[in-house]
A = this chain, B = another copy of it.
Amino acid sequence: MTIKTIGIAGLGLMGGAVAMALRHAFADIRLLACDIDENALTAAETDAVIDEGFVDAKTMLPQCEMVFLCLNPSITLQFMAENMRVFAPKTLITDITGVKTAVVSFIEANLRADVDYVPGHPMAGSEKGGYFEARNCGFTGKNYILTPLKRNKPENLALMREIVRKMGFSRITETTPAEHDYAIAFTSQLCHVIAAALINCESDSGIIRFGGGSFEDLTRIALFNATQWTELFLENRKPLLARIAQFEASLDKIKDLIRNGDHSGLQIYLQTVRKRKEEQTALKTDDS
């Protein structure tokens, strides 16, 4: 590792988890963090997760060779607009936002020529937010998506991959922001829409007396941060609406089989589903 000092902007759930993973992977780097929440900074210093915390990003950024932006999409854009002049020359910047087209195009258009920005999205998280939940947000075996810019320096992209790998992520995929957003609209946002709709259609909380593992599985993520997910849904509105339409068509098919009492058709549908899920599970155990 050629980098000696990494700064983390935003020490919430993801920023905290990134800090912990970096500390664990690279014992001798200097880790800095900035956040408006002094409690999180103090706790992370006490935990020896970071070396120094800053309330003012402008004091931290000039000291960093690399910066992880661990902020909501809208705050990421605001942060970059306010602090673009402050980064040290040659800084390698990355982010963790779950929507890429809007974020990447804005940052790329405003990027200084002497810094580099490799957009990223760690596929990890928790329905519970904040630094104090960060320990429970494991990265081991998880997916990481990168949507590199044409102007990225090859050595920075290689470094980014090395760092992500050492943080515990097992599969790193490079793609375009548009492809990322279309895929994520399915694997992440549609799942959150479904969980919300499922919770919303039964007002009697006593229903959980009849709950088994499947209801728990499907609604665990309903403890989401409403502000954050409102933003993610609306930032990725078009791909998400396309994915909802796909899901509705798929739901219509199985609904018709049930309504028609089509025993063999339903069984074939469910067998196909199971086979596809098995394929996915097999692919998951292949490391890339």
Contacts and interface: CB of A to CB of B under 8 A. Distances in A.
Nearest to A192: B214
A226 B186 CA distance: 24
Interface residues of A, number: 89
Given A192-B214, A210-B123, A254-B193, A230 B270 contact: yes
Given A210-B183, A276-B205, A197 B254 contact: yes
Given A211-B143, A258-B234, A283-B208, A229 B187 contact: no
Interface stretch (A44-52, A65-73, A80-88, A261-269): A261-269
A106 to B, nearest CB: 18
A36 B2 CA distance: 65
A280 B204 CA distance: 9
A278 B223 contact: yes
Interface string A208-219: 111111110111
Contacts of A223: 274, 277-278, 281
B198 A267 contact: no
A102 to B, nearest CB: 13
Interface string A150-172: 00000000000000000000010
B222 A277 contact: yes
A249 interface: yes
Nearest to A240: B258
22 contacts: A143-B208, A143-B212, A171-B209, A183-B210, A187-B207, A187-B215, A193-B255, A194-B194, A198-B250, A199-B276, A200-B250, A201-B250, A205-B276, A208-B284, A213-B221, A214-B221, A217-B220, A222-B276, A222-B277, A223-B278, A230-B270, A233-B258
Given A124-B213, A199-B277, A217-B220, 5 more contacts: A143-B208, A197-B250, A222-B277, A224-B270, A237-B259
Interface of A: 123-126, 142-143, 145, 171, 173, 180, 183-184, 186-188, 190-203, 205-215, 217-224, 226-227, 229-230, 233-234, 237, 240-241, 243-244, 246-251, 253-255, 258-259, 261, 263, 266-267, 269-274, 276-281, 283-284, 288
